[in-house]
Amino acid sequence: MTAKAEMEFAVEVEVLGRVRHRNLLGLRGFYAGGEERLIVYDYMPNHSLLTHLHGQLASDCLLDWSRRMSIIIGAAE
């Protein structure tokens, strides 16, 4: 990785570590070694919002537009 990429990763981890919001997972830690970069968050037992909207669970979890807007507004707060 270039020095610029290393710096960008460090800045992103720092920002993510400071973010506190009830709708977001907390950053637990990170690893940067060799060519690997890992970011560790809390475990999500009910999967991510992305999985429910567009992934494997999308067909099981049909969300109408009013429910989707509620989720969007909650995330934006």
Give the model's pLDDT for residue 1. 67
1-43: CATH architecture: 2-Layer Sandwich (3.30)
Give me the DSSP letters along 5-61: HHHHHHHHHHHHHH---TTSPPEEEEEEETTEEEEEE---TT--HHHHHHSTTTTTS
Q: Is 2 helix (H, G, I), strand (E, B) or coil?
A: coil
* Predicted confidence pLDDT, tens digits, the chain (77 residues): 688 888 898 898 998 888 887 777 888 889 988 888 998 988 878 777 777 677 776 666 677 788 888 888 887 87
Domain boundaries, the chain: 1-43, 44-76
